[in-house]
């Protein structure tokens, strides 16, 4: 909602950065309880192709699904954590 594509322009807008400065993975209340995840905790999301590490936001998503915004990439990572959603997808 706050960013577009890879944030090459929107990421420079201070107001948008304050609203959404880093990616977060959305998970359901039920899945959070099942996996022992606390809101705001840094979690690792893995697929057979890769992994990302970011804060979890709990609620308002279907059980068994996650949502990661694709707007964030490698240039955003000041802490060395992989945060690009493309890490989880086919790269070829």
Residue ranges covered by each domain of the chain: 10-88
Q: What's residue 57's pLDDT?
A: 94
**Per residue in 68-81, pLDDT tens?**
887 766 655 667 77
Residues 69, 34, 48: CA angle, nearest 5 degrees: 50
DSSP code string of 29-40: HHHHHHHT--TT
The CATH number for 10-88, chosen from 2.120.10.10, 2.40.40.20, 2.40.128.30, 3.40.50.300, is 2.40.40.20
Integer Cα distance of 65 and 19 in angstroms: 24
**Per residue in 22-58, pLDDT tens?**
788 999 999 999 999 999 999 999 988 888 899 999 9
pTM of the model: 0.71
77 DSSP 8-state letter: -
Over range 85-92, report the average pLDDT. Answer: 73
Integer Cα distance of 16 and 52 in angstroms: 22
Q: Helix, strand, or coil here: 17?
A: helix
pLDDT reading at 13 higher than 70: no
Q: What's residue 17's pLDDT?
A: 58
């Amino acid at each position: 909602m706050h960013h577009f594509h890879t944030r090459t322009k929107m990421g420079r807008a201070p107001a948008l950065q304050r609203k959404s400065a880093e990616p977060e993975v959305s998970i359901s209340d039920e899945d959070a309880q099942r996996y022992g995840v606390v809101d705001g905790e840094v979690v690792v999301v893995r697929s057979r192709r890769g992994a990302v590490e970011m804060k979890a936001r709990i609620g308002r998503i279907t059980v068994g699904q996650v949502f990661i915004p694709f707007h964030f990439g490698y240039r955003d990572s000041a802490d060395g954590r992989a945060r690009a959603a493309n890490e989880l997808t086919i790269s070829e």
